[in-house]
Each structure stands twice: as C-alpha cells, then as structure tokens.
Amino acid sequence: MKIQKNFFLTFFLIPFAILAQNKANISIANNTVLERKEAVVAINWNSILSQYPQIDTTNFVVINTVTKKQVPFQLEHKGFPAIQNLLVQVDVKAKSNLKLSVQKGKPQVFAVKTFARYVPERFDDFAWENDKLAYRAYGKALEGTKGDAFGLDIWVKRTDKMILNKRYKSEDYHKDSGDGLDYYHVGFTLGAGNMAPYVKDSVRYSGNYHHWKMMDNGPLRSTFILGYDTWDVDGLKVKATKTISIDAGSQFYKLENVYTYENGKSLPVVAGIIKRPEAGIMSLNEQDGIMGYWEPQHGEDGITGVAVVLTTPVSSIVIDKEQILAKTEVKSNEPIIYYVGGAWNKAGIITNSVQWFDHINRFSKEIKSPLIVTVK
C-alpha cells in the first residue's frame, strides 16, 4: 500500500507542477476613489519568473481575465541586458482589483505610444514624446548660438501618433500642419519645468546636456539619461544627470535629477515655468508641491498648460518677472524626483484652466497612492 500511495501522489502532483509553470497570475489593486485610466504599471520580472519559470519572452501574452482580451505590454530593461520589469497599460476602476494572466501565446502588435531619440541633425537636441505631447532638451551644439536656450521645451500635438521624426524631417515645425506644432518659447529660462541650483536669489543655470544614454524606447515607456558637465555655482563645482521617463497615456513625464558636489551640505534648487508677458492663470500649492500654469492665448496657436509636481517638500513658490519658481533642496548624489506635464487646448482633451488644474491635482494624488501589484 505504501508503494501505491507514493505512486498516486507522484502521478497527480507532477501534472499540477507542470501546470504551475505555464502561467503567472497578476492582481492590480486600486485602493483609491480615483479611476485609473491608461495607467502604465511595472511588474517585477523576477516575480513573474518565480511563478512562470519556463516563459518564452518571444511567445507570451498578457490577458485580462474578465474580458479575455490581450493587454499591451513592454519588457523594460532600464539599460541592463536582463529584463527588469513587465510593463502593462491598463484601466483600473476605483476601489477594485484587476486580474491579469501571463501565459503562452502569440502577442498582438500594439501601437507605439512613446518614443525618444538623440537628434544630431538639429544641434544635438534630445526629444521625447508619448501619445499626448512631445518635449525636448537642448544639446551641446546649440550652446553659444543665436537660438540657444536653457530650459525644457514642449511641442503640442493633437494626434496619438508619434510625430518627432516627421517634424524634424519637415524642418517647419513652427507651423501647424494638422497634428500640432512647436510654438512654446523657452529662451534663457527654465522653460517648461527644468530644474537648477538657486543661490543668492539667482538661478544658476548649467550648460546644455553633453552626454546621453538610452535605457528603454517604447512602446509604453521610454527612458534615457542626459548628462551635464561641471559648472560653477557660487564657487561650488556641480555636475548633474537627468533620468527622464515618459509613459503612454499620461500628460506628465518623470524626471530624476542627481546633483554631485563636494561640500556635503544641502543645495537649494528650483523647478521653474516661464511666465508670459500677458496675463495667464496660475494654481500654486506649496503644501503639495504643485505649480500649475494656464498660458494666455497665443494667436491662432492656442493655449498651452504647463505644470510641475514635486515629491520633496517645497519651502516656497515665488514669481519673478520671468518665471514661476518652486524652491526645494537636494543633497549630493541623492536623487530628487518630480514630474512635468503639459496640455494643449486645441487637442480637445483639456480645454480650459479649470480642467487643467483639476487634472494636475488628480495626478498628484495618483502618484501618492500607486496601484498595488501582486503576482501569484
């Protein structure tokens, strides 16, 4: 009887062990009263492997277990050879759990919704976009030229298609050809959300970025690093890197700045938004680290909304003759994370200041209460 019992257990346990290797079940919990739409969620790849060790990275699908439909996904590397995360884009209703299954199958071809690249043909620009907006940082080749600028730029768009390559190729992106344009003015300011040291009531700008590295490039998230050479900040030698990450479906992108210097003290910095000469509308919240700005009408080009949402305490928000500045502090080699966003009224999604400020406040609440992922 003992031999028969062992045979019985072996016979029935082996199939269950095999089945356990053919799937990973994911639960994404939204414990807030805010419905999350088009959210890009990162799921640790090792947690997938622990449940589905035989997964073929070229032959699997992510299935919504209720609708039975495939879910868009991306394998995120963060610059490493090995996969770091499985990214999925999902809608999660308020106070609910979304169930997904990772299993064998042929994945659909989903639309590319984020893209970034170095643009050597336009003075070393580095540009990035998602299905809502596009942005750029200025490079080394632009320094000292007539068109030099210090801040970050926004290109408005009213299409969910990727437009960067098309616009650079046309060389006429200051005119709206039906999908948007670049009419945002940066100049010698922080533009749309750049950050810089702030000493003796003065912004201490760095040069433009001189180095770059691509980490991931779509379809749901594009991430890259921009490196800035050492510059003088009131006698202190400072270097900086910016890790920028943009997700599909969001009016915002994420910046992680690291400043490196030697005195061991906190360094005061500001994030800024250029203020137009004409009257715009502002929504400033020091307690929550929010700067919202709805620009004045710019002729036929329309209106751009800009916002900065910080995750570190803001000591004050000040308005000078050129910019709106949120003051905070950093320490050497410690990342400071914040978010920059934009909206264009002619895109038809966010069309007035009330909608824009509501959206900013909602986004601030979302980053403070992230979706909770469980793999089993």
The average pLDDT across 26-37 equals 98
User: What pLDDT, on a 0 to 100 scale, did the predictor assign at position 11?
Assistant: 39
Answer yes or no: CATH 2.60.40.1180 is held by domain 2-109.
yes
The average pLDDT across 196-218 equals 97
User: What pLDDT, on a 0 to 100 scale, did the predictor assign at position 172?
Assistant: 83
Question: How do residues 76-102 score in pLDDT, each as one tens digit?
Answer: 999 999 999 999 999 999 999 999 999
Phi, psi of 20 (to 5 degrees): -65, -20
Q: What percent of the chain has pLDDT over 70?
A: 94
The average pLDDT across 352-360 equals 98
Binning pLDDT at 50, 70 and 90, where does residue 21 land? Answer: low
* 197 pLDDT above the threshold of 60: yes
User: What pLDDT, on a 0 to 100 scale, did the predictor assign at position 7?
Assistant: 39
Question: How do residues 330-346 score in pLDDT, each as one tens digit?
Answer: 999 999 999 999 999 99
User: What pLDDT, on a 0 to 100 scale, did the predictor assign at position 173?
Assistant: 84
E strand or H helix at 331: none
* Helix count and strand count (H, E) for the chain: 4, 25
Q: Which whole-number Å values give the CA distances from 108 to 14, 25, 105, 208, 289, in the listed order?
A: 32, 20, 9, 40, 40
Kindly state the tokens that stand for 31.
């414990």
Q: How far apart are CA 315 and CA 329, in angstroms?
A: 9
Binning pLDDT at 50, 70 and 90, where does residue 14 land? Answer: very low
* 362 pLDDT above the threshold of 50: yes
User: What pLDDT, on a 0 to 100 scale, did the predictor assign at position 171?
Assistant: 75
* 5 pLDDT above the threshold of 50: no
Q: What percent of the chain has pLDDT over 90?
A: 91
Q: Report the topology of domain 114-368.
A: Beta-galactosidase; Chain A, domain 5 (2.70.98)
User: What pLDDT, on a 0 to 100 scale, did the predictor assign at position 187?
Assistant: 93
Q: Is the whole model's pTM more than 0.85, yes or no?
A: yes
* 200 pLDDT above the threshold of 70: yes
* 224 pLDDT above the threshold of 70: yes
Binning pLDDT at 50, 70 and 90, where does residue 20 land? Answer: low
The average pLDDT across 113-135 equals 98
Contact at 8 Å (CB) between 268 and 200?
A: no
| Residue whose C-alpha is closest to residue 196's, from 286, 307, 367, 323 | 323
Binning pLDDT at 50, 70 and 90, where does residue 32 land? Answer: very high
Contact at 8 Å (CB) between 187 and 203?
A: no
Q: How far apart are CA 85 and CA 237, in angstroms?
A: 36
Question: How do residues 66-76 score in pLDDT, each as one tens digit?
Answer: 999 999 999 99
- Average pLDDT over the chain reads 94
Long-range contact set of residues 296-302: C-beta below 8 Å, sequence gap at least 24:
298/183, 301/176, 301/181, 301/183, 302/156, 302/344, 302/345, 302/346
Domain boundaries along the sequence of the chain = 2-109, 114-368
